[in-house]
A and B are shown apart, each in its own frame.
Chain A
């Protein structure tokens, strides 16, 4: 097996386009498109705060179960893909959800957290991952 040890990968034809070969070798995929551009794990109980994150400038507690997450390095457009989940806390056995609200800009997404069958509520581990293009 060969090993590449380097600090930087840059596309030759286009600097921002590094391709990798897909499973089976039938297609190539742009590496950058598969990288999450921001992520956060926050504690929404008590006084909410981030446990850890990347490319996040602040969170804003806007009410029970609502958290605005702003970016340090903005996204290029508002068509980002956001995935999220939260812990179930003591309500073992319930499904949980983490929705994306309509208030989305290139600098912010709003997450909401709730137990599956009930209204919005705060969680100890609310997680969000954002994919898309950077500005």
Chain B
């Protein structure tokens, strides 16, 4: 199915079109990362409807838009967004492969401190894996860490 020309269309409306017309895509990819030595490993899971938008193309804004909004929000005294138009008026990105979509999602939803230097320490702070590579039960979930063997 061809994506309508969505330039200038509110992102919400684009998501409504996608929900109506695209089949969700449940990705097998998971992103495991650690952003605090005091906390267990976190696992990022792409939303199936979002992944369908990414694979389709012409719906999602470029990832830098989210970074700009995050910068605004980090300003002291932030009350509300005044540059929300970036989400809606910036030319949507084209179709991505599933791997490119995961990279986009990492830059959107993982802390920058993790993905900007994920392998600078003694062991990686972030790993992309498949669902079946994760423990199949939730036993000791709050103690999960990225294995140091991965760095080898």
Look across to chain A and name the residue whose beta carbon is closest to the beta carbon of B48.
A50
Residues of A within 8 A of B19 (CB): 54
User: Are B50 and A72 in contact (CB-based, < 8 A)?
Assistant: yes
A106 and B49 in contact (CB under 8 A), knowing A62-B39, A72-B15?
A: no
Tell me the chain A residues, 15-64 only, with Cβ under 8 Å from chain B: 37, 40, 45-50, 52-64
Report the interface size class on chain A. 35 or more
Interface size on B, residues (CB 8 A): 39
Considering the chains assembled together, what is the distance between the CA atoms of A112 and B141 in angstroms?
A: 15
User: Are A58 and B141 in contact (CB-based, < 8 A)?
Assistant: no
Residues of A within 8 A of B15 (CB): 54-55, 72-73
Tell me the chain B residues, 123-147 only, with Cβ under 8 Å from chain A: 131, 134, 136-138, 141-142
CB distance from B78 to the nearest CB of A (A): 8
Q: Give per-residue flags for B88-100: 1 if the beta carbon is below 8 A from chain A beta carbons, else 0.
A: 0000000000000
CB distance from B23 to the nearest CB of A (A): 12
Choose one: A59, A68, A73; the contact of B11 (CB below 8 Å).
A73
Q: Does A107 contact B (CB under 8 A)?
A: yes
Tell me the chain B residues, 34-64 only, with Cβ under 8 Å from chain A: 39-40, 42-50, 53, 60
Look across to chain A and name the residue whose beta carbon is closest to the beta carbon of B132.
A47
A57 and B134 in contact (CB under 8 A), knowing A50-B45, A74-B69, A74-B87?
A: no
A134 and B80 in contact (CB under 8 A), knowing A58-B46, A63-B141, A63-B142?
A: no
Look across to chain A and name the residue whose beta carbon is closest to the beta carbon of B11.
A73
Q: Give per-residue flags for A52-94: 1 if the beta carbon is below 8 A from chain B beta carbons, else 0.
A: 1111111111111000101011101100000000000000000
Residues of chain A at the chain B interface (Cβ within 8 Å): 37, 40, 45-50, 52-64, 68, 70, 72-74, 76-77, 105-108, 122, 133-135
Residues of chain B at the chain A interface (Cβ within 8 Å): 11-12, 15, 19, 24, 26, 30, 39-40, 42-50, 53, 60, 66, 69-70, 73, 79-81, 84, 87, 105, 108-109, 131, 134, 136-138, 141-142
Assuming A49-B26, A58-B50, A63-B39, what are 4 further A-B pairs, CB within 8 angstroms? A50-B47, A61-B45, A62-B42, A63-B141
